[in-house]
Amino acid sequence: MNAYFSWPRFLAVLLKEFVQMKRDRLTFGMIVGIPIIQLILFGFAINTDPKGLPAALVVNDESVFSRSLVRSLENSQYFKFTHRATSEAEADRLLQLGDVQFVLVIPSDFSRKLQRGERPQLLLAADATDPSATGNALATLNQTVKQAMDRELVGPLSGLKPGELPVDLRVQRRFNPEGITRYNIVPGLMGVILTMTMIMMTALAMTRERERGTMENLLATPVRPIEVMAGKIAPFIIVGYLQVTLILSAAKLIFGVPIVGSLVLLSLALIVFIAANLSVGFTFSTIAKNQLQAMQMTFFFFLPSMLLSGFMFPFRGMPEWAQWIGEALPLTHFLRIVRGVLLKGNGLAEIVPELWPIGLFMLVAGTVALKRYRQTLD
Amino acid sequence: MNSAAANAVVSPSAEAVIDVKGLTKKFGERTVVDDFAIRVNRGQIYGFLGPNGSGKTTTIRMLCGLLTADAGEGQCLGYDIRRESQQIKRHVGYMTQKFSLYEDLSLAENLDFIARVYDVKDRKQAVDKTLERLGLTARRTQLAGSLSGGWKQRLALAACLLHEPKLLLLDEPTAGVDPKARREFWDQIHDLAADGLTVLVSTHYMDEAERCHALAYIAYGRLLANGTATQLIQQSGMTTWSAAGPDLHDLARELRGQPGVDMVVPFGTTLHVSGADATQLEQSLAPYRERTGYRWVRIEPGLEDVFIGLMNSAKDNFQ
Ligand SMILES: Nc1ncnc2c1ncn2[C@@H]1O[C@H](COP(=O)(O)OP(=O)(O)O)[C@@H](O)[C@H]1O
Ligand SMILES: [Mg+2]
């Protein structure tokens, strides 16, 4: 037998590892679960060419031309006119709130000018906070408009369709006019980093107590679960703010991200978001038997958060079921808040619709954590 | 033996600090503590003995509200053990079997944390006083994780005493501690008991058992015997002979399994041979006592003989 490597000994270790792996249900679940989740998310959910993007329509001139234009845009599959606004202001608000990705304004003298060959203005405003979400739609825009106009300008009007576009198409990339990707990524990173670190640190902090046996002493004292939970969470809120300060400084000084909105408002939203993540971490710590399991659970939550929140890929590019999962995650809503406040200058009224889902999530996770945290060892 | 406290074992008029009966705990299908009863009076040092896994820790945890009993009732410091565990926790000092303070905190920081949790008055002074009392002042800034076994045990005791409890529950406090530190620890326990503190202490050491006012012996989750050391020895009805001579190992092998011989235990240069039936034991030993070179003496059985005997009979009953 080879003195340096013994196959039976190797096999002994190998088998032992498999048995242990089988015993450790959670690790086993991760081994199977993570690839499946990744395959589903990357394979099906993620679509970097989002279609059917919601758009608002402001028509000040009902005509065959405007109808044809709308139809062509919808046929291109990139646009879906979900809202009809009576004024530009109303449509702009929808854009601000993130309810629509585009606003198309057809001016009142559109068909008259078109027929006279005066190249009427056609305004398309896009929410460009996430350039990758609107990129392809805007790239095909010229072609689509041209085809629509060519179809309608027949007979006596066919002379009006020379090589160039018969309309003056103006595209406004709102909130991120240069379409700079990092304007979108850097604020988003704040949410991602907080999710990761906040959950992991609380999950580990509590599990450590159990693993090292100090839990027994803690339970024997008169201290109450809510006191332990609050006492454990509070320091991490401070840690969270420290991270935020770091990221914001980097965003401003290194990446030149514009900060349009109020930082005070952002801080307010941050409390809720951080507390929500800490509650998740606390819940994990009541389930995990050791620190490794706590880490694994953190990743199990972190992965879908990163992939389905609209951080990595445009939210509207995902199928509906994936969007539903995304809607349930705090990070999704926080990304909308942080991008809204920093890039769009959103105020309290605009962020409330995204803030309450995070608050609700926090309440649910916090309740589960408190219910699961036992004051006894059994 | 402190005779006043020893008498208290049998005196029902004395103030009971722990008084429970029918205590039962199951983990899944397994009954780990079965119909356990104990009464500990004020100022007593009550020893809790039994082999590993017999349910000592589980019982202590039920007494201080860390585990909820599946059945049974009683009071601890006048509070119901099932409903008022929060009050019990305030007045009990519980020293866990495994060191359970924070290794990454210094001695003073650990005690300060405990003092805050118990809402101790004049916290800083209390911490200083406790450090002083246990001779820990010089090491106050040292990390708990860097302490040796004996010092860790002192720190754990300090943490138990900080909030001036009325009852101490000590779970194998001296396991892995050197004899000198054990001796000092027990001197301290006796000082505390003299001041009126009640102590329930689990141990495997016979010399420690002998320093207790009363003892309870538990095996397989059942209370097998309790009383003072003298009572336990008398109750056991055991007869023990000691043999000295050559080749004790061979002698032991021959004696085992003879009628009336329940136990053959080597004790250094002698062999202890014990049995519950004195006459039969004597008959079986008669031929061996004739052998030359051996000296046979009838002795009073020790606590250890009694416990091993209890353990053996329990094995027959429960396994
Ligand atoms: N949390 C638990 N879950 C399941 N079994 C337990 C638990 N705690 C203790 N046990 C079992 O109960 C028995 C009694 O344990 P314990 O009270 O620690 O005994 P002792 O302290 O006398 O050594 C042991 O067999 C142990 O394995
Ligand atoms: Mg034990």
Task: Give the per-residue pLDDT at A158.
Answer: 63
DSSP A105: E
Q: Which of B198, B233, B268 is the last residue of a domain?
A: B233
User: Are B181 and B257 part of one and the same domain?
Assistant: no
Task: Give the per-residue pLDDT at B8.
Answer: 42
Q: Is A215–B100 a contact, with Cβ atoms under 8 angstroms apart?
A: yes
Q: Ligand 1 pocket, B96 CB below 6 A?
A: no
Tell me how long chain A is.
378
Task: Give the per-residue pLDDT at B163.
Answer: 93
Q: Smallest Cα–Cα separation from A301: which of A269, A278, A323?
A: A278
The answer to whether residue A123 sits within a structural domain is yes
Phi, psi of B30 (to 5 degrees): -85, 130
Q: Which of B233, B263, B287 is the last residue of a domain?
A: B233
Amino acid at site A340 = G
What residues of chain A lie within 8 A of the CB of B99, using their CB? 213
The answer to whether residue B295 sits within a structural domain is yes
Q: Is B101–A217 a contact, with Cβ atoms under 8 angstroms apart?
A: yes
The answer to whether residue B318 sits within a structural domain is no
The answer to whether residue A31 sits within a structural domain is no
The answer to whether residue B200 sits within a structural domain is yes
d(CA B261, CA B300): 16
User: Are B19 and B88 part of one and the same domain?
Assistant: yes
Task: Give the per-residue pLDDT at A340.
Answer: 92
The answer to whether residue A315 sits within a structural domain is yes
Task: Give the per-residue pLDDT at B241.
Answer: 92
Q: Which of A156, A174, A192 is the last residue of a domain?
A: A174
User: Are A208 and A260 part of one and the same domain?
Assistant: yes
Task: Tell me if chain B has a CB within 8 Å of the CB of A378.
Answer: yes
Residues 6+ apart with CB under 8 A from B188: B134, B157
User: Are A200 and A307 part of one and the same domain?
Assistant: yes
d(CA A278, CA A233): 6
Task: Tell me if chain B has a CB within 8 Å of the CB of A219.
Answer: yes
User: Are A98 and A160 part of one and the same domain?
Assistant: yes
| A103 phi-psi bin (left φ>0, alpha ψ -120 to 50, beta other) | beta
Residues 6+ apart with CB under 8 A from B225: B215, B216, B217, B232, B235, B236, B306, B310
Task: Give the per-residue pLDDT at A268.
Answer: 92
CATH number of the domain residue B192 falls in? 3.40.50.300
The answer to whether residue A233 sits within a structural domain is yes
User: Are A273 and A157 part of one and the same domain?
Assistant: no
Task: Give the per-residue pLDDT at B6.
Answer: 44
User: Are B31 and B142 part of one and the same domain?
Assistant: yes
Kindly state the helix (H) or strand (E) to which residue A176 belongs, with its residue range: none
User: Are A262 and A191 part of one and the same domain?
Assistant: yes
Angle (CA) B288 B293 B294, round 5°: 45
Q: In chain B, how many domains are there?
A: 2
Amino acid at site B119 = D
* Residue owning the nearest CA to atom 21 of ligand 1: B57
Q: Which chain A residue has the Cα nearest residue B105?
A: A214
User: Are A256 and A164 part of one and the same domain?
Assistant: no
Q: Is B101–A220 a contact, with Cβ atoms under 8 angstroms apart?
A: no
Task: Give the per-residue pLDDT at A163.
Answer: 63
Average pLDDT of each block of 10 consecutive residues along chain B (319 residues)?
A: 44 79 93 94 94 94 91 93 90 94 91 90 93 93 91 94 95 90 92 94 93 94 92 88 90 89 88 89 89 89 86 70
Cβ–Cβ under 8 Å, residues B166 and B198 = yes
Q: In chain A, how many domains are there?
A: 2
Q: Is B100–A217 a contact, with Cβ atoms under 8 angstroms apart?
A: yes
| B262 phi-psi bin (left φ>0, alpha ψ -120 to 50, beta other) | alpha
A358: domain range?
182-377
- Please list the pLDDT of chain A residue by residue as tens digits (378 residues): 456 776 777 777 767 667 766 777 776 776 666 667 666 666 566 666 788 899 999 999 888 888 888 998 999 889 999 999 999 999 999 999 989 999 999 998 888 888 888 888 889 999 988 888 888 888 888 888 888 888 877 666 666 555 677 888 888 888 888 777 778 888 888 898 889 888 988 888 888 888 888 888 888 888 877 788 778 777 888 888 888 888 888 888 888 888 889 999 999 999 999 999 999 998 998 888 888 999 999 998 998 999 899 888 888 888 888 899 999 999 999 999 999 999 999 999 999 999 999 999 999 999 998 888 776 666
Sort strands B45-49 and B198-202 into parallel, antiparallel or unpaired. parallel
Q: Which of A174, A206, A238 is the last residue of a domain?
A: A174
The 3 state secondary structure assigned to chain B is CCHHHHHHCCCCCCCEEEEEEEEEEEECCEEEEEEEEEEEECCCEEEEECCCCCCHHHHHHHHCCCCCCCEEEEEECCEECCCCHHHHHHHEEEECCCCCCCCCCEHHHHHHHHHHHCCCCCHHHHHHHHHHHCCCHHHCCCEHHHCCHHHHHHHHHHHHHCCCCCEEEEECCCCCCCHHHHHHHHHHHHHHHHCCCEEEEECCCHHHHHCCCEEEEEECCEEEEEECHHHHHHHHCCEEEEEECCCHHHHHHHHCCCCCCCEEEEECCEEEEEECCHHHHHHHHHHHHHCCCCEEEEECCCHHHHHHHHHHHHHHHHC
User: Are A161 and A200 part of one and the same domain?
Assistant: no
* Residue owning the nearest CA to atom 16 of ligand 1: B55
d(CA A294, CA B301): 54
B49: domain range?
2-233
DSSP A316: G
**Ligand 1 atom nearest residue B60's Cα:** 17
The answer to whether residue A203 sits within a structural domain is yes
| Side-chain half-sphere CA neighbours of A78 within 13 A | 22
Q: Is A222–B118 a contact, with Cβ atoms under 8 angstroms apart?
A: yes
User: Are B60 and B82 part of one and the same domain?
Assistant: yes
- Ligand 1: residue of B48, B52, B56, B57 to mutate (most ligand atoms within 8 A of CB) is B57
Tell me if the pTM is above 0.80.
Answer: no
* Residue owning the nearest CA to atom 2 of ligand 1: B27
Task: Tell me if chain B has a CB within 8 Å of the CB of A212.
Answer: yes
Q: Which of B205, B233, B261 is the last residue of a domain?
A: B233
